[in-house]
Structures are given as C-alpha cells and as structure tokens.
Structure 1
Amino acid sequence: MDPAKLRELLEQVQSGARSVDDAASALKDLPFADLGYAVVDHHRALRLGVPEVILGQSKTAAQIVGIASELARTGQNVLVSRLDPAKAQEVCTAMPALRYHEMARVATLEQAPIPRLGTRPVAVVSAGTSDLPVSEECAETLRMLGAEVERIYDVGVAGIHRLLHRRQALDATSVIIVIAGMEGALASVMGGLVEGPVIAVPTSVGYGAAFGGLAALLGMLTSCASGVTVVNIDNGFGAAFAAARILRAGARG
C-alpha cells in the first residue's frame, strides 16, 4: 500500500464507488503480515515512499520467495538484494516474474508504476572494473527508487584524465555516488570537483593492507574535501537510499 493507492481507495469511499466494508477489507494487511519467520512491513511504502526491501543474504530461497510473494500479492514492487546466483535460480524458478541482475546480485519485480525521482540523474562513479558489483547494486537500487542513473565507470585516480573527460556529464547530475576500493582517493577528488552532494562507498577491493575495504573507509571518512558523506563497506544499496532521501527532501523544498 503506497500513498497513491491509499488516496485512490479513500477517494472511492468518499465518492460512494466503494463501500466502507470493502475499504476495510483492502486495508486488512496494514501495517504488517506475520509469516512466522518474517514480519512483512506493508506500511513502509506509506512512511518512506518505497516498499520493504528483502536482504537475500543469509535467508533461504524459500524464505525469500515467501516474503517476495507476500509483497507481490499486495501489488507492491519487489527488490531483493545480495542474492547469489545459486539461490537466485531457486527463487526465480518459484517466481518467474522476477528479473535477476547477476552483476548487481539483485532481483526485481516491477508491477506498480515507479514515480520519477528528481529532475536530473544520479551519477554512479566507480574507480575500477572490480567495483562493478557494488556499482551495479547501487544503480539497480536507484532505478527501483525512481532515479535516472548516469553510469561513469573505471575512472579511478590512477588515470585521472578519464574522470576529467566526463566533467560535463558530472555537472549535469544531482547527486554523485563515488564507489572505490584501494585507498579510496576518488571520493576526495570528487568532493573537490563538484558542487552537489557526494556519497562515498568504500569497497573491499584491494591488496593486503587495504584490509577488506577498511583502508578505503578510513580514507573517505578523513577526506580533505568538505561534506563528503560515507556509507559502509560495499554498501551500494545504502548509498542509493541516501541519494533518494536527498532528492525527496529537495522536492519537498
């Protein structure tokens, strides 16, 4: 149940096109559905503007199918994150309408219109090809949130001319999400190059002393560029949601 559907239901009751009993029946699933192993939050779209997202990691395929089916039953869109290929095969066999994006490790089902978010695209900027899984997780999440995405990939500081070549495209975006491993320097470069909000995502890409992304995380947190926001290691999903919140706040003025 999202704000548009709730408004439509209330208007039908007001006009007499739908009875109070019918409306009460339609609302019976609010605010949640208890599946035993999960309590599906049907109220989230009303509060946040988007339905609950399913974290596929550590869930069984059967649990994912159960939660996704419950969301789909009420007409909501479905986004499953951190879904590995083996588990995705089981889930998509049970729910053929789901679309699996292997690089992003997400599965999606679009059955309700996704309102456009913002007037300019969000840039997803990655330092290297090894950062693509996190970058695509971010890009697919943004798409499901209604944001247009400008992908600018493999423009790390080891060849900074590649980034500067895309300056015009960067200036046309609203929020910039920077995804980098190693020492995470790309976030500081971007923070000193563009005017808009910059969200940095450290990745677990790098050799020994990168410590699985900790070096990039600390580098981004101690950036010399003012106002760079940092999310957790490999958290492309969280960066996308942060960008969406910025855009929604801007739309409200």
Structure 2
Amino acid sequence: MGGLDQATVTAQLRDLLTPATAVTPAAQVDLDRWRRCGYPEVVFAPGKTTQAIVDVFRAQLAHGQSCLATRVPAEQAAELLVTFPQARHNATARTLCIPAADGGGNGPQAGFVAVITAGTGDLPVAEEAVETAQWMGCQVDLIVDVGVAGPHRLPAQKHRFERADAIVVVAGMEGALPSVVGGHVACPVIAVPTSIGYGASFGGLAALLGMLNSCAANVTVVNIDAGFKGGFLAGLIAQRTAAATKNSGSLGNSPVP
C-alpha cells in the first residue's frame, strides 16, 4: 500500500487550508470563491469608491478571473471605463463586466435562460438579470412587455421560453405574471418583484407577497428589484442542467431561432 507524507498532503490541500484572499485598502477579495462556488465574487457598487472597485477588479484579473459589478452609477462607470477600456457597461442594467485576462469568461457558453418582463418599466431589473446570466456563460433571451393586462402577448412568445432551463420573470404592480408563466412550463420560474407601481404597491411589497403566494408550484421568489439574484440563480440552474445534459449525451435546450 502506498502513502503520502505530510508535506505532500499539505501541499495538495493548500488551497483548502489557506483560501486565497487579496487584501486591498477597502476589501478582502475572496479569490477562492470561484473554486468553491463556480463564479468569482461580484461587486455591489453602492457605497464603494471607484478606487475600491478598481482594486478588487485588478486582484481578480491578476488571478485569471472575470469581473462583474452591479448598481454602478453612470459617473462611476465612466471612471471605471477609463481604467478598464475592455469592460462592457450596460447603462440600463447599471452593470459593468470585464472578461478574464485571456479573453474568456466563466467557461464555455452553456445553458439557456429566458428573462421575461411584465412591463417596459421593469426593464432595468430585467437587464441586470440578463447581464448576470450572460456573465455566467448562459445564452439569454429577453422577452419584454408581455404582462397580464394584454393576455394575448405571452402565448405569442411561448415558443421563445418554453425550452428554457430556467426563466426569470420580472414584474411590478400586483406581480401576477410569474404564476401565469409557471403554468406554461416545466422548469423553475424565478420571480423578481419590482418597485414599479402606484401607492398601494408599497414599493414592490404587493408584488412580492403576490409572488410568494403563487399557486404555481414551480415559482420561487427573490427580493424586490433583485435582478442580479434572479439572474444568478437562473444561471446556476441552467449551467447545472447543461452539464447534466452533456454528460447524458442529449442535445439539450437552446433558444429558438
């Protein structure tokens, strides 16, 4: 029987014993998150200076990781683009992402996510979900303005979302759309309530409560205006589905041309 000495075992387990952390003046960057959770740490921009975000991005890029920041104000995005001209800024989503130094992302593109909005006012939150899922390596189809006030609109788009591995549905007002979508598909539906609506919507609380009480069994809910969380969860589901499909030899799902 063979064996390993203590030095060899310690060397092989070094990443587990001493997780990689980059210490900057404003943050301790979790560089080990990519290995543990599949994706790098994401920067939530509010409350952070531009220099703090620059330091985090530089640490991630130096370790071969891609970068994503959410809720980035326009002025701060302009400053970051000076330092990182290779970055992509989505002004509607308020996101900024940078590919890894080798030009790649978080692995090969895999998994199909549909993002659906009830109204045009929900688009900023939906775009945040789109950018997040794309950053994770998913194919994404954005379907806009198909809320329940125009009941003919959703069925006309069903061919675009019925094969999705996961669906993100973004809605304000009374938050009815996720339940309707859930009744059409056999995949997880991640409902994202938005703060769009009049007084009694209570900043999205009415939509949140409506979604939490959905009678569609495949609907789950994230926080108000949390497009990032909806997109991230959908991306995880889609990537796992794609990996399982690849291992089984099936053709899997993809957007309809």
TM-score bucket of the superposed structures, by smaller chain: 0.7 to 0.9
Q: Distance in 2 between matches of 1:169 and 1:94?
A: 38
Question: What amino acid does structure 2 have at the position aligned with 1:51?
Answer: P
Q: Deviations over 1:159-183 (max 9, x none)?
A: 0211110111121211111000000
Q: Distance in 1 between matches of 2:70 and 2:35?
A: 21
Q: Distance in 2 between matches of 1:82 and 1:139?
A: 14
Out of 193, 205, 208, the position equivalent to 1:214 is: 205
Question: 1:159 aligns to what SS in structure 2?
Answer: coil
Runs of 4+ more than 4 Å apart: none
Q: Distance in 2 between matches of 1:224 and 1:108?
A: 37
5+ long unaligned stretches in structure 2? 1-7, 246-257
Answer yes or no: is the 8 Å Cα contact 1:127–1:156 preserved in 2: yes
Q: Does 1:80 align with 2:72?
A: no
Q: Does 1:116 align with 2:108?
A: yes
Identity rate, percent: 46
Q: Does 1:195 align with 2:191?
A: no
Q: Deviations over 1:14-49 (max 9, x none)?
A: xxxxxx9xx99xx8x951111131000110111111
| Residue 248 of structure 1, CA deviation | 3.9
Q: Distance in 2 between matches of 1:116 and 1:128?
A: 32
Answer yes or no: is the 8 Å Cα contact 1:117–1:247 preserved in 2: no
Moved more, 88-97 or 214-223: 88-97
Q: Distance in 2 between matches of 1:146 and 1:241?
A: 11
Out of 34, 37, 40, the position equivalent to 1:45 is: 34
- Greater helix fraction, Structure 1 or Structure 2: 1
1:68 is aligned to: 57
1:90 is aligned to: 79
Q: Deviations over 1:77-124 (max 9, x none)?
A: 1111110101111222232222211011001111234323544x2110
Moved more, 33-42 or 238-247: 238-247
Out of 217, 227, 233, the position equivalent to 2:218 is: 227
1:1-253 to 2 correspondences below 5 Å? 30-111=19-100, 112-116=104-108, 118-119=110-111, 121-250=112-241, 251-252=243-244
Q: Distance in 2 between matches of 1:87 and 1:151?
A: 26
Answer yes or no: is the 8 Å Cα contact 1:128–1:153 preserved in 2: yes
RMSD over equivalenced CA pairs, Å: 2.1
Q: Deviations over 1:120-172 (max 9, x none)?
A: x2110000110110010000110000110011111000102111101111212
5+ long unaligned stretches in structure 1? 1-19
Question: What amino acid does structure 2 have at the position aligned with 1:131?
Answer: D
Of structures 1 and 2, the one scoring higher in RCO (CA 8 A, sep 6+) is: 2
TM (normalized to structure 1)? 0.84
Question: What amino acid does structure 1 have at the position aligned with 2:94?
Answer: R
TM (normalized to structure 2)? 0.83
